[in-house]
Chain A
């Protein structure tokens, strides 16, 4: 994989990389052909987006020589990680204000029970509890699934997920996750005040805006700014 913008490399550098990659006529290919060839080689492996970003950490070179790190010596007794663990459990991780990620596992005993049951359906129940009310929705999953990215329906309150088995009309909870506190923003709750706080918003935005006028990326910020824009247009 080329870790940076390939166009910035010298022809000699390109030849050296091509040689490393086993391109036979690396010495005679033109610069354009070398670039084309290397792009093809690397894009076959993965869909890496080339980036020439000075802020990238942990670079030791221009390319990731894919084979050399495979030889890191293992300590005695170390085994491969298992694909799953023998527990029935579910975990919910906060990704951003709109999405959470959950993963789960079902113990061999529970799995055997499920397979014995007739007309069994497994589902993921997402519950949001806010201001004393609870709302849930179900996502059907298969026995082979072990993870899901869950859309968070709203801001505020708490959210948790449960693994539910529906068997002949009855719901049985196999596991439930701990709760995530969902974001709650003053300005999203008080959108009508935004237009009266123009100066305060200028202060806020001065912290978040580049000299070119680009505002920092954030889904919540986008929502607040949209509200602010709507307030101005009222």
Chain B
């Protein structure tokens, strides 16, 4: 490879496992449907088109095991179909309502067209995005990596090797079940790393993970490449260090591109603006106003007098922002070259849902970024595996301290006043799960199922999303309820098994409700297995 700036674009798609078939519609299931309609489908449809066009590009994706499970779920798929039909109906109703308002009508039609296009793409691929991921991977356009089974923030479970092993091994086996091959990369949830975690990853055949940006300057060893080359961790697993400087051009909540006044305002939505009688069928019961996706205003500025969104003007800004993004990469490349670092590697990690869902123009941004990179003499899009195979690529051997990409760079986000109480209960559940595996090893039939479900409940309780939501103060009631339900459910098994009984009613309902990791073996929590 000639002297180029190597860009490792890594998109992480993750949602907590939310599936409430006991309700006709459930508020938090919208997280999945909105992400599908606004991010995953348009993004993959774009990449599919670019692939068919013959454009050369490379992106790395991580789809979390909880998300992959939901994407493969027949019932949730049917609900997504209903969601899309309902929103297309709203689009047609909006076209009628806005007949006299040319500019707003144009926007309503744009959303309706998007919905129709997305649904067609989805249907054409057998009502799933997984075949598209497989196709793009087969065609060498995307690399796929996995993450922890329920996206647990691993540093806070370091005391429990069985739980760490369970998170890593089930993350890998779920990936294998879906894609048919083993992943080389493991996305550390929230970039949460602790010394020794790499040894666990290595045991499961992982070749690389990603690391937060401050990991290098604060490491125990002197880095020579400052994060612009892979970091070889003590186990030999490689870490790709996130470039905070470049990623913040988008991420920054104060000055990132998505804050531009010409971009669409995320928070102005007809779900809140229109009279209840009109919007009622498209929001949640009982009259709970939610986003519908029909948003007609641009950010405009710090004012409530929002102007109408102008898609053409927004696209002009996208072009400017892509140029600016590439300019910053190239300028850094020149600076690094003057310090003796050739072929620098820029690891640009983002949440996939940022593009399209939270930042409406984000999909167009990616399209133009890929197109311009393909033509650029100075930029080469790469994947982590490709970097590791490249004989020119240098690396730093470093001992990295515990770290994350959360506020402050450590565990404060997942261990603050709002959520600290949860660990006493989750740790206890892990210890009790270990105890159950020792007292009741290799159970078959009903007891085996009972114990398997207990291990699912423990893993679901470990999800980083619950403490994150508590910290972020969004759907706190739901997060707390979910956590208590998983732990309480685990306790049903623990108490029953202590009496050598099985609560069959609970088991049947719990298996139906939390239908994740179908091949789980509760013995994964057996402490003896930690050295295997």
Contacts and interface: CB of A to CB of B under 8 A. Distances in A.
A73 to B, nearest CB: 5
Interface in B465-479: 465, 468-469, 472-478
Contacts of A70: 477, 481
A139 interface: no
B289 interface: yes
Interface in B238-289: 241, 243-245, 248-249, 251-253, 255-256, 258-259, 265-269, 271-274, 276, 284, 286-289
Contacts of A200: 224, 226, 339
Contacts of B218: 183, 185, 187, 218, 220-221, 224
B425 interface: yes
Contacts of B287: 20
A187 B216 CA distance: 11
Interface size class of B (residues with CB under 8 A): 35 or more
Contacts of A55: 251, 253, 351, 354, 358
A217 interface: yes
B427 interface: yes
Most buried by B among A4, A54, A74: A54
Nearest to B157: A93
Given A13-B272, A16-B289, A31-B304, A186 B219 contact: yes
A105 to B, nearest CB: 7
B265 to A, nearest CB: 7
Interface in A30-62: 31, 46, 48, 51-62
Interface stretch (B2-10, B404-412, B438-446, B516-524): B404-412
Contacts of B259: 54
A16 B218 CA distance: 49
Report the contact-size class of chain A (Cβ under 8 Å from the partner). 35 or more
Given A200-B226, A224-B218, A96 B409 contact: yes
Interface string B409-451: 1111001000010011101100000000000000000000000
Given A16-B272, A69-B27, A75-B513, A81 B217 contact: no
A175 interface: no
B271 A219 contact: no
Can you list the 8 inter-chain pairs with the closest CB atoms, starting with the nearest? A218-B409, A203-B226, A96-B410, A78-B488, A69-B478, A53-B253, A183-B401, A13-B272
Interface of A: 1, 3-4, 7-13, 16-17, 20, 31, 46, 48, 51-66, 68-70, 72-81, 85, 91, 93-97, 101, 103, 105, 146-147, 178, 181, 183-187, 190, 199-200, 202-212, 216-221, 224
Given A52-B267, A103-B424, A211-B255, 10 more contacts: A9-B267, A77-B496, A78-B485, A78-B492, A81-B488, A91-B424, A202-B335, A204-B223, A207-B213, A218-B410
16 contacts: A16-B273, A53-B253, A55-B253, A58-B31, A61-B290, A64-B476, A69-B28, A72-B481, A75-B506, A77-B496, A94-B155, A185-B219, A206-B226, A216-B409, A217-B408, A224-B218
